[in-house]
Structure 1
Amino acid sequence: MNKNVKNYLLTILQVYVTIVIALMVVDVTLLIILTFTHLKPITVTHIYNLDLIVCIMLFFVVLLTVIPKKDKIGFLKDKWILIPAIIPVDFILIGLLGFPLSVFISIIRLVHMGAMVASVNKISSSFIKFSKKTGLSYGIVILTLVFLLSSAMFFVTETKVNPEVKSYEDAAWYTVTTMTTTGYGDIVPITGFGRVLGVLMMITGVAFTGYATASVASSLIDKFRAEREKDREALIELTKKMNKDRIDHADEINGALKEILEKLDKK
């Protein structure tokens, strides 16, 4: 395969994996909310469907990773955690088979979520390397925790006094619009603590956006610096080679001239 085509395909695959990882974060967050809160049936169905889509996308990542491997069985044994991660347990057990929610299914769901989190480290070494270098993973964890805690506290605080907050979905919607600084204005906090939570959400959203932008910019600058250093080293090597060739050619010319002069002296 042409090297340029191969690099292009690897770039596409890495972009696809990055999208899958982002969806996995969203999926796990929603599954956590589903586990510990009461949601509308239509919202629960949407979460099941999203989990199915993410599992299918993750399956293709695993498939594309396994195909080039010679020892496929050994690869799957080493990365067995991917197997429970690609199984949409809620969609199958509750959505298709119609089993009622139980402690057993909740435990299986937690195993599925844990496998998804662990799978991030298995499917994208470059993303993990980038997140460890920039600390972006910590930012994502903090952002997720703030979202979960803030939306839960906002719901508890506002649901009894705010007619606009009738369900947890309303609180989660307010949290999303506030953390992204969109602010539709359809839901407004009434209590003082609700406003404090709103301020915390806005600060967290703005801080994470700036942090993520700075991390990406820093990574690009490091990449450009590394490429420039690589070009500089290549130029130095080329200069050394040219100087060596020049010296070798000069020695050959001097040797030839010396032979000519010796022959002329003999005559």
Structure 2
Amino acid sequence: MQERTAQAWWEERTQRPLLALAVVFAVAYAVPIVATSAGRSLTRACVAVEWAVWAAFAADYVVRLVLAEDRRTFVRTHWLDLCAVLLPLIQPLKLLRLVSTLLLVGQRARMASQIRVTTYVAGAVVGLLMFGSLAVLSVERDSPDGNIRTLGDALWWSFTTMTTVGYGDHAPTTGLGRIIAVGLMLSGIALLGVVTANIAAWFIERFEKENVEERQQTEAIRALTEEVRALRAEVAALQGQTERM
């Protein structure tokens, strides 16, 4: 019980700092892509920040593993966290650091009881839109046949891809860009499904609440009707006694 309490205490204490580090990671990831005139020293500093943020999430996973009561169960139930921690080690690719950090942030954000599904989905949409735009811009900007050259083009392409509209005016031409496109398509479909399910659940909950209230009102009316009938019977009995007297 003490180990479990220690793990819960750690997760509660580190959630906000890790989310703040995720914002720092977002800035460090975006600066070299948006600021094309950034020097080599600034780019190296941003890369160092990205690795530092990933290392903080990796250390957080290790600490939670140590504090877990059953470590095998923790690894089995947090396998996505483990994959996100190990992913950048397979190949030191910038996009892998991005994917792993997004996964780790998503896993930690889900632990927050105050974050509702709608808020989480909205944050996921904004995050995927931003990071998808930056990722495809960094890949396609230097491609000879690429047509995504500016941040505006990348944002427009990401939005149309996530919503599964796909106007076709901008499209990735590199293999890595197409992999990013597939990820955005699948994410957009998944998020759309979550939003649809959330709206449907809200309507069902409203209908069930109205049905419960209607049943309660019906029961109250029945109870009042029975009381009125009983009172009428008592009044009739009293009248009969009065007439006999």
TM-score w.r.t. length of structure 1:
0.48
Q: Provide the residue aligned with 1:250 in structure 2.
A: 233
Q: Aligned letter for 2:141?
A: T
Aligned length: 138
Spell out, residue by residue over 1:162-187, the C-alpha distance to the aligned partner (whole angstroms, 9 max, x if none).
43122111111111111111111122
Q: Which whole-Å CA distance do the structure 2 matches of 1:133 and 1:256 have between them?
A: 65
- Tell me, yes or no, if structure 1 residue 169 matches structure 2 residue 143: no
Alignment-mate amino acid for residue 139 of structure 2:
T
Q: For the residues of structure 2 that align with 1:224 and 1:258, how far apart are their CA atoms?
A: 51
Rate the CA distance shift 1:133–1:170 in 2: closer, same or farther, 3 A. closer
**Which of 123, 140, 156 is the equivalent residue of 2:138?**
156
**For 2:177, which of 182, 186, 194 is the aligned residue?**
194
Report the CA distance between 1:208 and its aligned residue.
1.3
User: Residues 200-231 of structure 1: CA distance to partner in whole angstroms, max 9, x if unpaired?
Assistant: 11111111111111111111111111111111
How much has 1:134 moved relative to structure 2? Answer: 5.7
Determine the structure 2 residue equivalent to 1:215. 198
Cα distance in 2, alignment partners of residues 237 and 220 from structure 1:
26
Matches within 5 A, 1:232-251: 232-251=215-234
Contact 1:134–1:215, Cα closer than 8 Å, also in 2: no
Alignment of 1:118-133 (within 5 A): none
1:196 aligned partner, one-letter code: I
Q: Please report how far the alpha carbon of residue 38 of structure 1 lies from its aligned counterpart in structure 2 after TM superposition.
A: 5.2
In structure 1, the gaps of 5 or more residues are 1-31, 40-131
Structure 2 unpaired stretches of 5+: 1-26, 37-113
User: Residues 40-65 of structure 1: CA distance to partner in whole angstroms, max 9, x if unpaired?
Assistant: xxxxxxxxxxxxxxxxxxxxxxxxxx
Cα distance in 2 between the residues matched to 1:187 and 1:173:
8
- Tell me what 2:129 maps to: 147
Aligned counterpart, 1:68:
none
Query: What is the alpha-carbon distance in structure 1 between the residues aligned to residue 229 and residue 168 of structure 2?
Result: 75
**Is 1:178–1:202's contact at 8 Å kept on the other side of the alignment?**
yes
Find out whether 1:224 has 2:207 as its counterpart.
yes
Report the secondary structure of 1:199's partner residue.
helix
Q: Does 1:137 align with 2:89?
A: no
CA contact (8 A) 1:38 1:168 kept: no
What amino acid does structure 1 have at the position aligned with 2:218? L
Sequence identity percentage:
25
The verdict on how the C-alpha distance between 1:134 and 1:216 changes in structure 2, with shifts beyond 3 A counting, is farther
Aligned-partner Cα distance in 1 for 2:122–2:146? 32
